[in-house]
Chain A
Amino acid sequence: MATEILMPALSPTMEEGTLAKWLVKPGDQVKSGQILAEIETDKATMEFEAVDEGVIEALLVAEGTAGVKVNTPIATVLVEGEAAAPAAAPAPVAAPAPAEKPTPVAAKAAAPVAVVATASPDWPEGTPMKAMTVREALREAMAEEMARDETVYLMGEEVGEYQGAYKISQGLLDQFGPRRVIDTPITEHGFTGIAVGSAFAGLRPILEFMTFNFAMQAIDQIINSAAKTLYMSGGQMGCPIVFRGPNGAAARVGAQHSHDYAAWYAQIPGLKVVMPYSAADAKGLLKTAIRDGNPVIFLENEILYGRSFEVPDLPDFTIPFGKAKIWREGEDVTIVSFGIGMVHAIEAADKLAAEGISAEVIDLRTLRPIDYDTLIASVQKTNRCVTVEEGWPVGSIGNHLSATIMERAFDYLDAPVINCTGKDVPMPYAANLEKLALVTSDEVVAAVKKVTYR
């Protein structure tokens, strides 16, 4: 029984090729790996090797023939013992249990329907509160989670002996020792890969970037290794890791230390992205992030570190991802923001209230997943929306929210959505120019007046 040799596909895109030259003739004994022919593809001339050992019976396509379709028989070979010992066909394999129903991440395009946001409180009514800075809240969250779970460790530049470049990890080295609070050399690409590898092996690293600007050195490990591996492994290999550190502009630190990465990371399936504003959110969301089984990007802000907020005085509380917080209710316009953008949103709402305009202020808190329902329900009530963020305008979170509102609540809109963003320039150093580059509450007020036709 002769085996057919088929015209091979020799590139990902090849559909046909030229059989340039035969290097064997009928009657030749061929062995595995021997070159049978030269084949020209659209890209190159390739050598085509034998797989089976045997004797060439016939050449079916003459050399020089162009346009030979992939999988056309081009020769036959008599393989020793083939007729005598055919391989047994394997039993069909039972299909696995059907996968769970898809949960699309993007907003659904749907007819306008009333959306009810679930506005359950983050902690029970009557919970005692205490004042705490964002810095203390972050430190407490890490300390509580490290005490709770032995596999959690903190790694980064100056997190240990220096007590943290921004003092977020103050005291943690004393409390947990150098095995679990690990100072690294200045080598973001390498230590990010090491932390991600340890997460593949079941540890739960908290990786501090001194600022997220430096994480660009490690972006390949964050995206290609951490975010994509669960999917590429068909669900086998998770990566429970938190990447955290200050993000966005501080004050007068120039273009290379002022970048807001919210929109970048929010674009990546496989990541979760958190950007808290208040101390309570910083604490509750960081604890959730550390317990989460996925890579979480936790974007902090240097200016917010020293701000104080009321934080529930509870031994353990967490805030779920994908749940926005309504900071104030209003009737005339929805202002939606996150992170330090909330400073401008709230300030603008105060100014607007003095002028008789009632703004509803929403803090998204997490950017992946996004709580679309709370936003849409608000826009269906106010019929107007202004988004606020520090990052650049092109491909911003505001752009995405605008598109989502247009798809899901077009008929409710009384004005176009306006995106207030940072200016489309690298961050300048000069004090006056830096102020101009950043989004301001006055710009938010002006945008609200535009959409409310005042």
Chain B
Amino acid sequence: MASRKTAAASDKPNISREELLKYYREMLLIRRFEEKAGQLYGMGLIGGFCHLYIGQEAVVVGLEATAKEGDKRITSYRDHGHMLACGMDPKGVMAELTGREGGYSGGKGGSMHMFSKEKHFYGGHGIVGAQVPLGAGLAFADKYRGNDNVTFAYFGDGAANQGQVYETFNMAALWRLPVVFVIENNQYAMGTAQRRSTSSPDIHTRGTAFGIKGEAVDGMDVLAVKAAGERAVAACRAGKGPYILEAMTYRYRGHSMSDPAKYRSREEVQKMRDERDAIEHVRELLLTGAHATDDDLKAIDRDIKAIINEAAEFSKTSPEPDASALWTDVTV
């Protein structure tokens, strides 16, 4: 493997073996899940739109490592990774992708619309940028109740150009809402490269006008994401108001399954995979630090493969929703 630009493990103090193994496992679970989802889409078992998270795993796994019970999260339609990272059941997620009764929304939401009250996962939103004020609203509720929970509101570099994001920055700062705005900058808004859509590239500085602290972080390095996340979460819990994290990341697959991705070269994608892959990074740390053997990691791979196969099987065998479900859940 080519040398990587990210800092070596020695720069990150106090990372335990258990932690590294946990991140490896969680990121691998997301990747294998998404690969399987891509496969099931190819077989026609998943319909409509399906946006895969492959390549971006370190962002959500690093941030989830900073969350505590009661913290909330909300994101866009590229949401499978966020659900798995906050502990939602892969079977229920995959069965929602196939539109089955056993899915988190009983088959009525699909890839883009899943929720879990139990895990404080608030979707799964299909309109670019809409989750940003919604996320600030979740934080508003925590502040109203007077607890110290925080909300992670994830959005992309594309959504960062929506007006409602800045309306939200203003109110979140004005009212000191405990929300971490996580910009997952994967460098492409669907097929439009950031340099073609965005007048100033440093999105994390866009809170400056509102007095919101922001920082950029290497989104391909789970330890760096976690460290930045801890700073952001600490500020929010301390009542200092919102925080912006711009995670520089990359998606390996197209915007959705039907994206031929002709707006970037194959070499560009391959270079990221070879040199910056977040999972390979942790794998290397584990092996070079003698925290784990090849066999240890193979055992994890096998475990995850079994979980994914079980989820896939469940998503095929769970029945389609009963016709009566058409009329339920319109109102309470």
Q: Identify 16 new A-B residue pairs, CB closer than 8 A, beyond the known A221-B130, A235-B328.
A: A8-B43, A44-B260, A48-B42, A90-B314, A99-B324, A105-B330, A189-B167, A193-B168, A194-B171, A201-B122, A225-B134, A233-B124, A236-B104, A236-B116, A237-B117, A293-B331
Instruction: Report chain B residues within 8 Å CB of A221.
Output: 130, 133-134
- CB <8 Å contact, A92 and B317: yes
Whether A454 sits at the interface, judged by CB under 8 Å, is no
What are 13 A-B pairs at a CB distance below 8 A? A8-B42, A8-B43, A12-B258, A43-B260, A90-B91, A98-B322, A102-B328, A187-B167, A190-B136, A191-B167, A194-B171, A221-B130, A233-B113
The proximity string for A residues 179-215 relative to B, scoring 1 for CB distances below 8 Å and 0 otherwise, is 1000011010111111111111111000000000000
- CB <8 Å contact, A103 and B171: no
A32 to B33, CA, bound (A): 12
Within the complex, what minimum Cβ distance (angstroms) separates A207 from chain B? 11
Do A6 and B123 contact each other (CB < 8 Å), given the known contacts A47-B266, A49-B38, A269-B330? Answer: no
Instruction: Report chain B residues within 8 Å CB of A238.
Output: 332
- CB <8 Å contact, B331 and A194: no
Whether A406 sits at the interface, judged by CB under 8 Å, is no
Whether A272 sits at the interface, judged by CB under 8 Å, is yes
- CB <8 Å contact, B101 and A89: no
Interface residue ranges of A264-317 to B (CB < 8 Å):
269-270, 272, 293-294
The proximity string for B residues 288-332 relative to A, scoring 1 for CB distances below 8 Å and 0 otherwise, is 000000000000001001100110011001110010111111111
Whether A10 sits at the interface, judged by CB under 8 Å, is yes
Which of B35, B113, B306, B327 is in CB contact (< 8 Å) with A102? Answer: B327
Do A44 and B309 contact each other (CB < 8 Å), given the known contacts A193-B130, A194-B168, A221-B130? Answer: no
Give chain A's interface residue range (CB within 8 Å of chain B): 35 or more
Instruction: Report chain A residues within 8 Å CB of B39.
Output: 8, 51
Instruction: Report chain A residues within 8 Å CB of B313.
Output: 87, 89-90
Do A293 and B332 contact each other (CB < 8 Å), given the known contacts A47-B260, A198-B137, A198-B138? Answer: yes
- CB <8 Å contact, A201 and B332: no
Within the complex, what minimum Cβ distance (angstroms) separates B148 from chain A? 15
Whether B106 sits at the interface, judged by CB under 8 Å, is yes
Instruction: Report chain B residues within 8 Å CB of A224.
Output: 125-127, 130
The proximity string for A residues 31-53 relative to B, scoring 1 for CB distances below 8 Å and 0 otherwise, is 01101000001011111110100
If over half of A's interface residues share one DSSP class (helix, strand or loop), that class is named, otherwise mixed; here it is loop
Chain A CB within 10 A, most for which of B54, B126, B258, B324 = B258
Instruction: Report chain A residues within 8 Å CB of B322.
Output: 98-99
Do A201 and B258 contact each other (CB < 8 Å), given the known contacts A90-B317, A96-B101? Answer: no
Stretch at the interface among B6-14, B139-147, B211-219, B233-241: B139-147
Which residue in chain A gives the minimum CB-CB distance to B112?
Answer: A232
- CB <8 Å contact, A190 and B122: no
Give chain B's interface residue range (CB within 8 Å of chain A): 35 or more
Instruction: Report chain A residues within 8 Å CB of B117.
Output: 236-237
Do A294 and B328 contact each other (CB < 8 Å), given the known contacts A33-B252, A88-B306? Answer: no
- CB <8 Å contact, B35 and A51: yes
- CB <8 Å contact, A45 and B260: yes
Which residue in chain B gives the minimum CB-CB distance to A9?
Answer: B44
Instruction: Report chain A residues within 8 Å CB of B327.
Output: 102-104
Within the complex, what minimum Cβ distance (angstroms) separates B153 from chain A? 9
Instruction: Report chain A residues within 8 Å CB of B113.
Output: 232-233
Whether B257 sits at the interface, judged by CB under 8 Å, is yes
Instruction: Report chain B residues within 8 Å CB of A162.
Output: none
Within the complex, what minimum Cβ distance (angstroms) separates A13 from chain B? 9
Which residue in chain A gives the minimum CB-CB distance to B309?
Answer: A87
Instruction: Report chain A residues within 8 Å CB of B115.
Output: 229, 232-233, 236-237
Instruction: Report chain A residues within 8 Å CB of B281.
Output: none
Interface residue ranges of B133-173 to A (CB < 8 Å):
133-142, 144, 163-164, 167-168, 170-171
- CB <8 Å contact, A189 and B260: no
- CB <8 Å contact, B35 and A101: no
Whether B15 sits at the interface, judged by CB under 8 Å, is no
A236 to B332, CA, bound (A): 10
The 10 closest A-B pairs by CB, nearest first: A197-B137, A193-B133, A190-B167, A8-B42, A102-B327, A87-B309, A201-B141, A234-B106, A11-B258, A197-B134
Within the complex, what minimum Cβ distance (angstroms) separates B83 from chain A? 12
Do A9 and B43 contact each other (CB < 8 Å), given the known contacts A46-B260, A190-B168, A230-B330? Answer: yes
Number of A-B contacts defined by CB within 8 Å: 236
Within the complex, what minimum Cβ distance (angstroms) separates A447 from chain B? 34
- CB <8 Å contact, A11 and B332: no
Whether A70 sits at the interface, judged by CB under 8 Å, is yes
A7 to B39, CA, bound (A): 10
The proximity string for B residues 66-89 relative to A, scoring 1 for CB distances below 8 Å and 0 otherwise, is 000000101000000000000000
Within the complex, what minimum Cβ distance (angstroms) separates B207 from chain A? 14
B-contacting residues of A (Cβ < 8 Å)? 6-12, 14, 32-33, 35, 41, 43-49, 51, 70-71, 85, 87-90, 92-93, 95-96, 98-105, 153, 179, 184-185, 187, 189-203, 220-221, 224-225, 229-238, 269-270, 272, 293-294
Instruction: Report chain A residues within 8 Å CB of B329.
Output: 230-231, 233-235
- CB <8 Å contact, A184 and B134: no
- CB <8 Å contact, A198 and B144: yes
- CB <8 Å contact, B38 and A99: no
Within the complex, what minimum Cβ distance (angstroms) separates B36 from chain A? 7
Do A10 and B330 contact each other (CB < 8 Å), given the known contacts A189-B163, A233-B105? Answer: no
Which of A179, A197, A236 is in CB contact (< 8 Å) with B136? Answer: A197
Within the complex, what minimum Cβ distance (angstroms) separates A454 from chain B? 43
Whether B93 sits at the interface, judged by CB under 8 Å, is no
Instruction: Report chain B residues within 8 Å CB of A7.
Output: 42
A13 to B331, CA, bound (A): 31
A44 to B263, CA, bound (A): 12
- CB <8 Å contact, B43 and A184: no
Instruction: Report chain B residues within 8 Å CB of A232.
Output: 105, 108-109, 113, 115, 123-124
- CB <8 Å contact, B330 and A195: no
Whether B114 sits at the interface, judged by CB under 8 Å, is yes
Within the complex, what minimum Cβ distance (angstroms) separates A176 from chain B? 12
A232 to B325, CA, bound (A): 12
A201 to B122, CA, bound (A): 9
Within the complex, what minimum Cβ distance (angstroms) separates B222 from chain A? 19
A440 to B310, CA, bound (A): 67
Which of B48, B141, B319 is in CB contact (< 8 Å) with A12? Answer: B48
A195 to B309, CA, bound (A): 40
Within the complex, what minimum Cβ distance (angstroms) separates B304 from chain A? 11
Instruction: Report chain A residues within 8 Å CB of B171.
Output: 184-185, 187, 190-191, 194
